[in-house]
Chains A and B, each alone.
Chain A
Amino acid sequence: QSALTQPASVSGSPGQSITISCTGTSSDVGSYNLVSWYQQHPGKAPKLMIYEGSMRPSGISNRFSGSKSGNTASLTISGLQAEDEADYYCCSYAGGSTSVFGGGTKLTVL
């Protein structure tokens, strides 16, 4: 049940693309295509942005996309906008009906 590893911070200018990585192990990220991503603005509850690695819930912009390679999942945000500035968390199924989150990444839009 060790937390997944995310960079503490990333930044980009409006209109640019950024990618946030999420590294786990062969027991979680590497074993299942069940990574989800959450956006959290200060003082607010998290919001589901991506599930099952690359699926977007209804209402989520197609500027948000997810992928996975080996033990590392990634969230890419294209066409950065000011409102994308937030904390982002990955979460992976870890077997036995349990899940584990990443440490979180603070996205700054310059």
Chain B
Amino acid sequence: EVQLVQFGGGLVQPGGSLRLSCAASGFTFSSYWMTWVRQAPGKGLEWVANIHKEGSEKNYVDSVKGRFTISRDNAKNSLFLQMNSLRAEDTAVYYCARDGSYYGTGEFDIWGQGTLVTVSS
């Protein structure tokens, strides 16, 4: 079965750090761009970051540049999001998603179950 299973998340204080993980199975992980999307409570979806199949290119939404780092380990079929200097406005459910397009142009066909990150003192 093609699936993405997420780990991590939880409660963290403002200024703190957290690392999210996403384990892929059922498909050739190294053949796909991967993406993180978040959804603040009661709000819409927001594209956060993506990473090239080989990890050679990474892109971020302006609001997280310099604070979040996306990475992947193709040998372990895993995607990560390291989140530093967290702010209250980063509070959201974070989803990992597979991009089914060849060039990473946004065709998110497989999604993880989502994990809640709460930034609060």
Contacts and interface: CB of A to CB of B under 8 A. Distances in A.
B62 A1 contact: yes
B11 interface: no
A40 B37 CA distance: 13
B105 A101 contact: no
A57 B109 contact: yes
B11 to A, nearest CB: 20
Give the interface residue-count category, chain A: 20 to 34
B85 interface: no
A89 B111 CA distance: 15
Nearest to B93: A45
A68 B95 CA distance: 27
B50 interface: yes
A1 B106 contact: no
Nearest to A32: B105
Contacts of B106: 34, 36, 91-93, 99
Contact of B44 (A1, A47, A102): A102
B59 interface: yes
Contacts of B114: 45
Contacts of B55: none
A46 B35 CA distance: 13
B113 interface: yes
The 10 closest A-B pairs by CB, nearest first: A99-B106, A104-B44, A45-B111, A93-B105, A51-B107, A101-B45, A99-B47, A97-B104, A103-B44, A34-B105
